[in-house]
Structure 1
Amino acid sequence: MKESKNLDRRSFLTRASIGGAAAAAGGTALAAPAIAQDMPSINWRMASSFPTSLDTIYGGAPEFAKRLEEATDGKFKLQVFAAGEIVPGLDAINAATDGTVECAHSVGYYNWGKDPAFACGADLPFTFSGRAKAAYNYHGGGLERYNEFLEQYNLVSFPGGNTGTQMGGWYRKEINTVADLQGLKMRIAGLAGRVLSKLGVVPQQIAGGDIYAALEKGTIDATEFVGPYDDSKLGFQKVAPYYYYPGFWEGGPTVSFFFNKAQWDQLPDTYKSLVRTCAQATDQNMQAKYDSKNPPALKELVAAGAQLRPFSEEILTASFDAANEVYAELSAENEWFKTQYEAMLEFRNDWYLYAQTAEYTFDTFMMIQQRNGKLAPNAG
């Protein structure tokens, strides 16, 4: 009897498997995803402000494109073009505004000369860390205010990455006091250049590929770039060995996706929702990548001759005061800048009040343990 029941069971499973396979072959068992059935096919182009060699920051664009294509079962395709392939990197946002491309992956402060309020969506010196900026963007009204401003430029934007706090750059000589900044020719542009110029720095705008030669020849005395992982590819420590921190002008720079608003408005709501979701995933993942890649890269740079130096409190305080002077000037000139900046101030004050409690205390204690050698493997 038992053997008979087992045979019946095997017979049933066999028939069920055959039936299921036949039904699937006939196209009746599994329906295609609703998006694949009902949504339009979209083919857009995205202009990046970054070269492919900066794989982490450039990589946000192809990562976003992959996420979006997978989420739509291949219906929404984005072709990404690196800086210079369609337009120069600094023109990517303008290309999205005028419809040369449907979207761009860039940093708002690249357009600060066109309108200083563009910088508010990226970073302002002495405002936020990457984590604080994410809180402000997603839950402090930052993203909504930025998009209100961008309407006049036919743009809609969502965060698309963050490097975390950057380094303060490479210097041919030590910088200990504000007096050491006088006449310093530094590759730094935009809003940060305007701040440092108040302290005697002479800002220089030089393309990334030309920085090393300019440092080697003494055409410039210093350069800012990004952080250990990206900087390690350029060999700056050979010609400007003093590596300062922090890059107070970029405490939490938001890289953004900028969409041509006319094109954005034509998207179905489902696609708009997926764009926001994929953008936020890319935004958070970029900082996680930098957080994983920067520690080993910094150790390699030091081993190769980089000499780490913190900016003195004198320099940081003078720079903070200079930044506030610039913000007062810009607020008097530009209402959109003023609106966004004043909202940042309120959020920043509460953030750094809270940050002094649990987070700061925990991190400080763990840093002390690291310096005491207690966090290393087999330290017990």
Structure 2
Amino acid sequence: MDVFKLWTDYSRLILVLSSPLYEEPLSLDLNEVRSRITKVMPGTTLKQWLAGLGNESLPTSTTVPKINPKYVTYRDAVAAGYSMAPIPPGVAYGNDYLISDAHDLRLWKEGIDPKVFYENCLVEVNGLLHRVDYDSEANYVYEGGRTGRICNDNHVGILNFQAVGGVRTIAITPEMISAGGSDPSLYINTILTVDEDLTDKTVMLSFMGFLLPWGRALKRIGDKAFSIDLRNQVFVDWYFHAQKRINLEEIRPLMTIKNGNYDQIALEEYLSNEVIIKLLTLSQTFLVVINNNDIYVDREQLEVSKTPDRYFTKTRPLWPVVIDKGELMSYWVVREGDTYVIAGSSNRRPEYNFETTHWQEGVSIDPTQDRHYPNRYSKAYFLKIGSDL
């Protein structure tokens, strides 16, 4: 492999070297010699670079790291033994209240310390991530109760980050948001600036509850700054999907109803800075901060069943499952012989007409579906967020 391409595919590389001169193998962290490697001619392979060193010394170590992958795991909250109850914000559990005021979700289990849960877990409600808080008795899922009412469903799953270092979230405020470059449009380039140095952390994004690992969605551009390019995302799909699942009552009034159709929205208004700021400051939009800067993301495709909401795998399901466009699947597991059946929330996804057009060049957009094939069953994969060292 061309040494210039090494850091394109890997964030960290450690070589294990052996030589007749040494009884035991040595390790070399290539990040410590990166400046020397990048001085060689393009096209030089790693083997050629090592052979050309001659008598030059390398900062090798006698400690050879052992690969011991650890992953973020997933469990259905009910299957894991948790109790749940919708509850209004700030109201003590056990008091009387109207269910219409119960916007949050109380989550607890005997023997589980709410503080430890808060420092290591995220919660998805009906496939979309929600922020979590805690007190001495339980954890509280922001907007979890209202999401359940809007969906008329109450699937809750837990993503456990303890094995990879723990996790926390940072809510996005309007003061953190600015436009990047000369274009004032947040849709073109959004800059998020936090008030702490996150260089030794891995940062991902939950946008309207859709989990987006780093890459095209979120890029680090400084110790405290990140950029989001919404043009590279299924930005409109997320909105039509989320409006049936989470509370968007502060956003819809910002957009004019077109042609008497409540679902038809003007693109200029939807892509406006005012709407994007509202979307970025939703309870379900936040930064996911993993206390580990040596994180990788892998995907393992699942076998699609001909039965709705079912997938097959020979591997014991331990990880989050992602179905359409970044949505997490709330699932539980049934074993049939040597096959695991992943049974979960609906995997039927709409086929929107606008997805077959250059909708960015239009004036308005709506969720009209294809007449012949209005829906499809989504493909799915295990989302393996892991760390080897």
Do Structure 1 and Structure 2 share a fold, with TM-score over 0.5? no
**Could you state the TM-score of these two structures normalised by the residue count of structure 2?**
0.26
**More helix by percentage:** 1
